[in-house]
C-alpha cells in the first residue's frame, strides 16, 4: 500500500506509466487497421473455421490481441523479433564466432547484436507475411477485395505493409523501454494478451451464467474455471519468483564477529530459469505441420494427414506425449544456455570467492551443474503442469477453445508483471533516497 501511495507521489514515475498506457492505446488502435486489398470478414471466417483458438495461429492471435484474426497491419505482432532473438542467442554458442565476440564486447557488442537481430526479424516478418497471405489464398475462399488482381506484386506489396507493421511495433517497444515502464517487447506482448481476457470472461459468463438453458452444472463449471484461474495465477507467481541460492564466501573479506554476515553472499538460481521459451518452442514445432495441413484440406483428409494430426495434435494421446517430451527437453537445453556453470565457476575464481565445502575450479563447475540439473527437474515439471492444465481441464469439462486456463499466456503475464513491479519499486526507492539526501 505504501508503494502505491509513493507511485502517485512520484511525478516522474507517473509520467512513465501514463506514457506506457498511451502506447497501449496506439497499439490497440493499430489492431483494427486492416491490410489494404484484403476482405477482413473473409479472413476472420477462414481463421475461425480452420484454425480457431488452438494451434500456432491461435497462439499468435492471442499474443497480438486478435490482430491476426482481424488481419491488421500488425497481424504478425513482434513474433518475428522473438524468433530472431532466440536464433541469435543460439548462434552465439560458438556457432557463429563473430556473434560470440560481440557478446563479449560489452555495450558496443550488445548494440551490434541488437541491430542484427532487428534485421533478421524484419526478414522473417516479410517471409512469414508472404507465406501466410498466400496460404490463406489457397484455402479456396476469395480473401481479396473485388477487382483485385492477385499476383506476385500484390503478395509482395501486402508482405511489405505487414513487415512495416512489425517494424512500427518494434519502434513502439523501444519507446516504452526508453520512456515508459518495463521492457517494451514484453509489455507489447502482455498488452495483446490482456486485451483478449475481457472478451474471454464475457463469453464465459454468457455461456455458463446468463445464457439460455443454464443450470446447476453450468454454474459449477463457471465457478471451477474462475477458481482455477485464480489458483493458477497464485501458483505461477510463486514459482516465477522462487530461487535456489548458492552460498558464496570471499577469501579477501574479514570473517570476524565484528563483520559477521558480510564475508559472504548468494548466487540465486531461478527454479524456472528457462522461462516460457520451452512451451513456445514445443507449441510452435507441433503446430506448424497442423497449420500447413489446414491450408491444404486435400492432404488433411488423407491417411498421411490423419496420422500427422495424431502425431502433432497435443490434444491427442500420442501428440501429448510428444508435446510433454519437447517441453522437458527444451527446458533443460535452454536452462543450461541461460546459466553457464563454467562461467559461474570462472567468475568466482576471479573474485577470490568460493562455495563453502567445494573446491574452486572444476569441482565448483560440477557442483553448479548438478544443482542446476536438480532445480531444472522441478522447473520442467512446473512448466509441464501449467501447459497441460488447459488440455485436461478443457477435455474434462468440455470447455470451448476460447477459454484458456493456464498455458503460455499466464506465464508471460505473471513474469512480466513481477519484473515490472520490481522496476517500479526500484524507481520509488531511488526517489526516496534522493529526497533523503537532499
Backbone angles phi, psi at 63, to 5 degrees: -70, -20
Kindly report the pTM of this predicted structure.
0.80
Which class for 356: exposed (0-12), middle (13-18), buried (19 or more C-beta within 10 A)?
A: exposed
Q: CB neighbours of 100 closer than 8 A, spacing ≥ 6?
A: 92, 93, 94
What's the rounded Cα separation, in Å, for the pair 234 and 251? 41
Q: CB neighbours of 145 closer than 8 A, spacing ≥ 6?
A: 37, 38, 39
For residue 273, give the C-alpha cell: 530459469
The domain limits of the chain are: 1-201
Strand 243-250 versus strand 353-354 pairing type: antiparallel
Q: 1-201 has which CATH code?
A: 1.10.3370.10
What's the rounded Cα separation, in Å, for the pair 63 and 122? 18
What's the rounded Cα separation, in Å, for the pair 267 and 244? 8
Q: CB neighbours of 244 closer than 8 A, spacing ≥ 6?
A: 268, 269, 271, 371, 375
Which class for 266: exposed (0-12), middle (13-18), buried (19 or more C-beta within 10 A)?
A: exposed
pLDDT in tens, 148-193: 888 889 999 999 999 999 999 999 999 999 999 888 988 998 888 8
Instruction: Give the 3-state secondary structure of residue 78.
Output: coil
pLDDT by 10s per residue, the chain, length 438 = 666 777 777 788 889 899 999 999 999 999 999 999 888 888 877 776 666 555 567 777 777 888 888 889 999 988 889 888 888 887 887 778 888 888 878 788 888 999 999 999 999 999 989 888 888 887 666 788 877 888 889 999 999 999 999 999 999 999 999 999 888 988 998 888 888 788 778 878 887 888 766 678 888 888 888 888 888 888 888 888 888 898 998 876 655 444 444 556 888 888 988 888 888 788 778 877 776 776 666 666 677 777 877 888 777 888 889 989 999 998 998 888 888 888 889 888 888 888 888 888 899 999 999 999 999 999 999 999 988 888 887 777 777 666 665 567 888 888 888 888 888 888 777 655 455 445
pLDDT in tens, 276-333: 888 878 877 887 777 677 666 666 667 777 787 788 877 788 888 998 999 999 899 8
Q: Quick check: 182 and 422 in contact, CB under 8 A?
A: no
Instruction: Give the 3-state secondary structure of residue 361.
Output: coil
Amino acid at each position: 500500500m505504501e508503494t502505491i501511495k509513493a507511485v502517485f507521489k512520484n511525478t516522474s514515475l507517473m509520467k512513465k506509466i501514463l506514457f506506457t498506457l498511451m502506447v497501449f492505446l496506439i497499439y490497440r488502435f493499430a489492431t483494427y487497421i486492416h491490410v489494404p486489398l484484403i476482405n477482413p470478414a473473409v479472413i476472420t471466417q477462414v481463421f475461425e473455421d480452420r484454425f480457431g483458438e488452438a494451434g500456432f495461429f491461435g497462439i499468435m492471435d492471442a499474443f497480438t490481441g486478435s490482430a491476426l484474426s482481424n488481419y491488421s497491419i500488425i497481424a504478425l505482432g513482434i513474433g518475428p523479433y522473438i524468433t530472431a532473438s532466440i536464433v541469435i542467442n543460439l548462434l552465439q554458442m560458438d556457432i557463429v564466432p563473430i556473434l560470440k565476440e560481440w557478446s563479449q564486447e560489452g555495450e558496443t557488442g550488445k548494440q551490434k547484436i541488437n541491430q542484427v537481430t532487428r534485421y533478421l526479424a524484419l526478414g522473417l516478418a516479410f517471409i512469414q507475411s508472404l507465406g501466410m497471405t498466400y496460404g490463406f489464398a489457397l484455402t479456396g475462399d476469395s480473401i481479396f477485395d473485388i477487382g483485385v488482381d492477385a499476383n506476385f506484386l500484390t503478395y509482395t506489396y501486402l508482405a511489405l505493409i505487414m513487415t512495416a507493421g512489425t517494424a512500427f511495433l518494434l519502434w513502439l517497444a523501444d519507446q516504452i523501454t526508453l520512456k515508459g515502464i518495463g521492457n517494451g517487447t514484453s509489455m507489447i506482448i502482455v498488452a495483446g494478451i490482456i486485451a483478449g481476457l475481457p472478451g474471454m470472461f464475457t463469453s464465459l459468463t454468457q455461456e455458463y451464467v446468463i445464457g439460455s438453458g443454464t443450470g446447476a452444472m453450468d454454474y459449477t463449471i463457471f465457478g471451477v474455471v474462475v477458481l482455477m484461474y485464480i489458483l493458477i495465477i497464485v501458483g505461477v507467481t510463486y514459482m516465477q519468483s522462487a530461487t535456489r541460492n548458492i552460498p558464496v564466501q570471499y577469501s579477501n573479506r574479514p570473517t570476524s564477529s565484528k563483520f559477521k554476515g558480510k564475508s559472504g553472499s548468494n548466487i540465486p538460481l531461478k527454479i524456472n530459469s528457462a522461462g516460457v521459451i520451452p512451451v513456445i518452442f514445443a507449441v510452435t514445432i507441433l503446430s506448424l505441420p497442423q497449420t500447413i495441413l489446414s491450408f491444404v484440406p486435400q492432404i488433411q483428409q488423407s491417411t498421411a494427414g490423419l496420422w500427422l494430426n495424431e502425431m502433432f495434435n497435443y490434444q491427442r494421446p500420442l501428440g501429448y506425449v510428444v508435446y510433454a517430451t519437447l517441453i522437458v527437453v527444451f527446458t533443460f537445453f535452454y536452462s543450461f544456455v541461460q546459466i553457464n556453470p563454467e562461467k559461474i565457476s570462472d567468475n568466482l575464481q576471479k573474485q577470490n570467492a568460493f562455495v563453502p565445502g567445494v573446491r574452486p575450479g572444476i569441482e565448483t563447475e560440477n557442483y553448479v551443474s548438478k544443482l542446476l540439473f536438480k532445480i531444472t527437474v522441478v522447473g520442467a515439471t512446473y512448466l509441464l503442469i501449467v501447459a497441460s492444465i488447459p488440455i485436461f481441464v478443457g477435455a474434462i469439462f468440455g470447455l470451448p477453445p476460447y477459454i484458456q486456463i493456464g498455458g503460455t499466456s499466464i506465464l508471460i503475464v505473471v513474469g512480466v508483471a513481477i519484473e515490472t513491479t520490481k522496476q517500479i519499486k526500484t524507481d520509488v526507492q531511488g526517489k526516496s533516497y534522493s529526497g533523503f539526501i537532499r
